[in-house]
Amino acid sequence: MKGVILAGGSGTRLHPLTRITNKHLLPIYDRPMISYAIESLVISGITEIMLVTGGTHAGEFLRLLGNGDEYGIDRLLYAYQERAGGIAEALGLAMRFVGEDDVLVMLADNIVEQTFLPTVERFAEQGKGARILLSEQENPEHLRHLGVPEFDADGKIVRIIEKPEHPPSPYAVTGIYCYDASVFEIIGGLVPSGRGELEITDVNNWYVDQGSMAYDVLEGFWGDAGESIQAYYEVNDFVRRNGVNKT
């Protein structure tokens, strides 16, 4: 399995912190945010990684990460997303890098208390399709800003709803996804959403419709450090007190 870390975006929700740098280079406790995503992949046995970024600060990732050897990466490549075209479009830039392999995609502002090695292992056993990570949320209001799965009576996902006014379950779709190589064919057939982007929820719902979507529920803390200034500092406080990427 190969890994793709998505570290683009303008980071407007973290202004003014992101006026001078990419949000994924901001510190979380004692090191840059991006290093936590890299660490989580490497711990899970994924050491061939492509970093997709954009904007005016893309070169700073090369200065920080170099060839990735210091971080335990065997092979590190970079891709540049020229415009804000959505998560699915950003993933599409990794098509030649991934080839016919499976891929784990992670949004670089996701911070997890427990590593997702079990999900990587289960997806390898699954053999095809997709597998996503969910996180149970206590606050229904928070779910209205996220992707939320709806389940049938057997606990199978029947659709994923983006930013639902009435969340159909207490689970959020995190920014961590496993796909087989057919994901790039799916992306190639997507139609831009109303905001002009290729949406990852449309990719996930394609797999749902095919009956090939599986999921795991993350144990422990999950935070999106790029969601807001408040979330950014909440993630900082958690990491400082508890640590993350535990096995």
Please state which CATH number belongs to domain 2-242: 3.90.550.10
Residue 143 in tokens: 């779910």
Tens digits of pLDDT across the chain (247 residues)? 999 999 987 778 898 888 889 999 999 999 999 999 999 999 999 999 999 999 888 899 999 999 999 999 999 999 999 888 899 999 999 999 999 999 999 999 999 999 999 999 999 999 899 999 999 998 999 999 999 999 999 999 999 999 999 999 999 999 999 999 999 999 999 999 988 899 999 999 999 999 999 999 999 999 999 999 999 999 999 999 999 999 8
Instruction: Find tokens 């540049």 and name the residue.
Output: 80
| Burial group, residue 101, by CB count within 10 angstroms (0-12, 13-18, 19+) | exposed
Identify the CA nearest to 109 among candidates 247, 222, 245: 222
CA 164, 142, 227, 28 dihedral sign is: negative
Do strands 48-54 and 75-81 pair parallel, antiparallel, or not at all (unpaired)? parallel
Residue 31 in tokens: 């090191």
> Going by C-beta distance under 8 Å and a sequence separation of 6 or more, which residues neighbour residue 87?
6, 107, 175, 197, 198, 199, 200
Distance CA 107, CA 159 (A): 21
Indicate the residue type of 107: L
> Would the pTM of this model clear 0.75, i.e. be above it?
yes
